Amino acid sequence: MKTSIGLVRSGRGRILVLLVTALLGCGMAVVPATPAAAVSDCSLDPYGCQTPKCGSDQDAGCNESLYLHNGTVQHNPRIYLIFWGSGWNSGPDSGYPAYLANEVFGKLRGTAFNNILTQYSDASGPVNNDAVLGGYDVDTSTAAPGVFLESYVNPEIDREVAKKSWPATDDTQFIVFPQPGTDQSQLTVCGRHYMRSLGASGTAAWVASSKSDCDGSESGLSGIALHEYAEAATDPQGLDASWLPTNVHGWATDDPHNDPVEVADKCEGWSYESGSTYTVTQPLLWSPAVNACTIMHGKDYPTSDPGWSYHTVYGAILAGDRFGPWRADQRGALDRLRPGVDLRRYQLRRKPLR
């Protein structure tokens, strides 16, 4: 029933209004109910939270705060995976492309892991928990190089974009995986992200598959790829080009040049973890909500909602569930409410599980 503001439609409502008026007239304050305390992400994380622990080459800036350096974030990330070379079609690693596409990035949307990134924003808004896999390809049309160099990544992405007609916007990520067995000894790290070629939209990244000091297993590639994804979403500008340093960066520590410490770098020294629902190998990320490294911001639940594998619930709604357990699909839609909505008021509208 639609009512005008200020009108009371029931006798019980009139009595309540009179009672409140009487209390106020007597000088008594009506105190609102105390909201339930939010459940800490540290108690939800199967392994608990961790302190900052950067890689050995970044320890100097590890305890510095992350902040936005005049740049942007990716608000609705869309990811394309490129597996370069016929070596991905045979041998013990042949199942990795489908796994990374379908299980790691295909189910990323709505997870508590991805929800960590919603805490990072620019002037236009936050990173949303709606990352989607745009597609993936095992590229055998261009021979993979015998020695893989970082400079080969952008040209390979350009070829794949043209061949597959993949759209590219500022929210698009392209991640290249050189085939197993390629000489990757010239690479100095296990993965990196940065802007695409001058004039091209989106970000570029690569993940080492056969570097002696990097984990090229299925779980290792998952952790490294998610590391680069998270940092590209929160700091698309990434590493400065040596010939064009800039003061425009996304979220990083005080010195974003040369080797910036970003959202995953602050936690790089910790081993990868696996969530209780989104069970792929994940890197710990820096979460401002708990001022610590974790793989969760809220709690995720499997859902049958089309296009989503999980939905995340967080905030006071997780504390003191007085209305009984909920079905996962009922919890599902809550994480899509815009930031600032009091989730507790939606609790009354949901039916307990029968």
Work out the percent of the chain whose per-residue pLDDT is above 90: 60
Residue 197's pLDDT band, with cuts at 50, 70 and 90, is confident
CB 234 within 8 A of CB 262: yes
CB 260 within 8 A of CB 55: no
At residue 232, the 3 state secondary structure works out as helix
Please give the pLDDT value at position 243. Answer: 52
Q: Please give the helix or strand (H or E) that residue 290 lies within, else none.
A: none
CA distances from 25 to 12, 16, 156, 169, 180 (A): 20, 14, 75, 60, 78
Work out the percent of the chain whose per-residue pLDDT is above 70: 73
At 38-55, the pLDDT tens digits run: 578 999 998 999 999 987
CB 131 within 8 A of CB 233: yes
pTM of the model: 0.80
Residue 195 has φ and ψ, to the nearest 5°, of -70, 155
Q: What's the residue count for the chain?
A: 354
Alpha helices in 77-234 (DSSP H): 96-99, 112-115, 153-164, 218-234
CB 208 within 8 A of CB 190: yes
Radius of gyration of the chain, Cα coordinates, nearest whole angstrom: 24
Locate tokens 């108690």: which residue?
Answer: 43
| Average pLDDT of span 77-105 | 97
At residue 195, the 3 state secondary structure works out as strand
Question: Mean of the per-residue pLDDT values for the chain?
Answer: 80
At residue 64's C-alpha, the angle toward residues 339 and 50, to 5°, is 70
Please give the pLDDT value at position 20. Answer: 35
Give the pair of three-digit tokens for residue 61.
């800036």
In 3D space, the residue among 93, 57, 56, 87 whose CA is nearest the CA of residue 183 turns out to be 87
All domains of the chain in start order, with CATH: 66-263 (3.40.390)
Asked if pLDDT for residue 208 goes beyond 50, the answer is yes
Asked if pLDDT for residue 309 goes beyond 60, the answer is yes
Top pLDDT among 42 and 26 is at 42
Least trusted range by pLDDT, from 118-122, 293-297, 300-304, 346-350 = 346-350
CA 288, CA 290: separation in Å to the nearest integer? 5
Please give the pLDDT value at position 256. Answer: 63
What is the Cα 329 distance to its own chain's centre? Answer: 21
In 3D space, the residue among 200, 182, 205, 180 whose CA is nearest the CA of residue 80 turns out to be 205
CA 139, CA 158: separation in Å to the nearest integer? 12
At 220-264, the pLDDT tens digits run: 999 999 999 999 999 998 866 555 566 788 999 876 666 678 999
HSE-up of 66 (CA within 13 Å, CB side)?
Answer: 30
At residue 220's C-alpha, the angle toward residues 217 and 223, to 5°, is 155
Please give the pLDDT value at position 204. Answer: 96
Please give the pLDDT value at position 257. Answer: 61
CB 109 within 8 A of CB 129: yes
At 107-163, the pLDDT tens digits run: 999 999 999 999 999 999 999 999 999 999 999 999 999 999 999 999 999 999 999
Strand partners, 125: 122
